[in-house]
């Protein structure tokens, strides 16, 4: 029996550059891994199986773990394992839990089978599972381009302290992207492709999420959470991905902990996490 611990991510920037004929969007993002985890237990078995705790609202063949399993069989043969995923990362919150599970599962299987794939092949497999999966193969603060397949890790990145609030509702990623008005976002940004090192001041100036306006129109509480975090001393507050999670960046752990105590009084039904950057 083996346990692995896939971690969550936050989008510190999400810019929509263009919409492709396929329906996908070209993006420019800054993603960071954080210390919030799922727990995956893997055991040998007579055939492949997967179990989620708590159960998730997804057909078994549609999960990222199953998609990764199907794609990996081409390279490693049958994978006779029992896979149990204990969810610590909220689902439907824009924190990449399913993508992280798949990315860590892919890395584990290839290591166990002692198969080394070139980076291009590995990224192609990951991208077929999901747009965020290639990021988790690197699992470092990174600039993301294209539809998620171009991952450029930063050489230097600040360590950040986050307070994350997850409302008691989920937001459809497909709905959020389909409702973005591209003329408002297309080509309005300057590319940051050449930045390899970034400090906290530069990062704060770059932080924005092109999905926020769409989501806030339908879910105005997202705006209220951001205002609360700023009032509590956050340097910046933003929604991650298509939501529903909202985070604030604070000076240090003491500020995060103080804000967390107040958040628990105000947003009693929400999940609340204090986290830091991984890999910085």
pLDDT in tens, 56-70: 888 889 999 999 999
Given a contact cutoff of 8 angstroms between Cβ atoms, the answer to whether 250 and 228 are in contact is no
Q: Which of 68-82, 140-154, 171-185 comes out lowest in average pLDDT?
A: 171-185
Q: Average pLDDT in the 171-196 region? A: 72
Q: Is 73 a catalytic residue?
A: no
Count Cβ atoms below 10 Å from residue 122 Cβ, excluding itself. Answer: 17
Q: How confident is the model at residue 257 (pLDDT cuts 50, 70, 90)?
A: very high
Q: How confident is the model at residue 185 (pLDDT cuts 50, 70, 90)?
A: very low
Q: pLDDT at position 191, please?
A: 60
Residue with tokens 């530069």: 202
Q: How confident is the model at residue 104 (pLDDT cuts 50, 70, 90)?
A: very high
pLDDT at 188 over 80: no
Given a contact cutoff of 8 angstroms between Cβ atoms, the answer to whether 171 and 213 are in contact is no
Tell me the C-alpha distance between 214 and 93, whole Å. 16
Sequence-distant (6+) residues with CB within 8 A of 123 are: 134, 137, 149, 151
Q: Average pLDDT in the 144-167 region? A: 94
Q: Give the start-to-end residue ranges of the domains of the chain.
A: 2-153, 161-276
CATH class of 161-276: alpha beta
Structurally, at CATH architecture level, domain 2-153 sits in 2-Layer Sandwich (3.30)
pLDDT in tens, 222-251: 999 999 999 999 999 999 999 999 999 999
Q: Average pLDDT in the 184-191 region? A: 52
Handedness of CA 276, 168, 66, 24 (dihedral sign): negative
Given a contact cutoff of 8 angstroms between Cβ atoms, the answer to whether 172 and 243 are in contact is no
DSSP state of 89: S
Handedness of CA 271, 160, 29, 127 (dihedral sign): negative
What angle, 0 to 180 degrees and rounded to 10, lies between the N-to-C axes of helices 64-76 and 119-129?
140
Q: Is 9 a catalytic residue?
A: yes
Count Cβ atoms below 10 Å from residue 267 Cβ, excluding itself. Answer: 18
Q: Which of 21-25, 45-49, 59-63, 86-90 comes out lowest in average pLDDT?
A: 21-25
Q: pLDDT at position 193, please?
A: 56
Q: How confident is the model at residue 194 (pLDDT cuts 50, 70, 90)?
A: low
* Position with higher pLDDT, 180 vs 108: 108
Tell me the C-alpha distance between 36 and 220, whole Å. 26
Q: Which of 11, 12, 16, 14 is nearest to 188 (CA)?
A: 16
User: Of the listed 67, 132, 140, 145, which one is catalytic?
Assistant: 132
Q: Average pLDDT in the 160-168 region? A: 98
Q: How confident is the model at residue 21 (pLDDT cuts 50, 70, 90)?
A: confident
Q: pLDDT at position 192, please?
A: 60
Q: How confident is the model at residue 158 (pLDDT cuts 50, 70, 90)?
A: very high
Tell me the C-alpha distance between 213 and 176, whole Å. 10
User: Of the listed 9, 140, 145, 236, which one is catalytic?
Assistant: 9
Given a contact cutoff of 8 angstroms between Cβ atoms, the answer to whether 147 and 27 are in contact is yes
Average pLDDT, the chain: 93
- Percent of the chain topping pLDDT 70: 95
Handedness of CA 151, 199, 229, 35 (dihedral sign): positive
Q: Average pLDDT in the 128-151 region? A: 94
Q: pLDDT at position 147, please?
A: 86
Tokens of 141: 């603060």
Q: pLDDT at position 19, please?
A: 86
Q: Which of 33, 163, 183 is nearest to 97 (CA)?
A: 33
pLDDT at 88 over 90: yes
pLDDT at 179 over 50: yes
């Amino acid at each position: 029996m083996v346990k692995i611990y896939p971690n969550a991510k936050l989008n510190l920037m999400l810019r929509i550059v263009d919409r492709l004929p396929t329906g996908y969007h070209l993006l420019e993002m800054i993603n960071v891994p954080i210390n919030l985890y799922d727990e995956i237990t893997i055991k040998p078995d007579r055939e492949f199986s997967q179990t989620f705790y708590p159960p998730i609202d997804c057909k078994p063949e549609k999960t990222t773990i199953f998609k990764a399993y199907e794609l990996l069989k081409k390279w490693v043969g049958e994978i006779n394992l029992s896979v149990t995923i204990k969810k610590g990362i909220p689902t439907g919150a824009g924190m990449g839990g399913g993508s992280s599970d798949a990315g860590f599962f892919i890395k584990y299987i290839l290591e166990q089978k002692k198969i080394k794939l070139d980076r291009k092949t590995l990224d192609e497999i990951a991208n077929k599972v999901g747009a965020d999966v290639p990021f988790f193969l690197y699992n470092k603060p990174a600039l993301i381009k294209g539809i998620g397949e171009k991952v450029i890790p930063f050489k230097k990145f600040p360590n950040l302290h986050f307070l994350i609030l997850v409302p008691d509702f989920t937001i459809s990623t497909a709905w959020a992207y389909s409702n973005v008005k591209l003329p408002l976002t297309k080509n309005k940004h300057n590319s940051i492709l050449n930045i390899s090192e970034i400090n906290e001041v530069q990062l704060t100036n770059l932080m924005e999420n092109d999905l926020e306006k769409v989501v806030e129109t339908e879910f105005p509480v997202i705006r209220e959470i951001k205002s609360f975090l700023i009032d509590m001393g956050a340097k910046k507050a933003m929604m991650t991905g298509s939501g529903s999670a909202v985070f604030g960046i604070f000076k240090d752990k003491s500020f995060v902990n103080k804000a967390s105590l107040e958040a628990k009084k105000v947003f009693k039904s929400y999940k609340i996490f204090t986290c830091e950057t991984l890999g910085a």
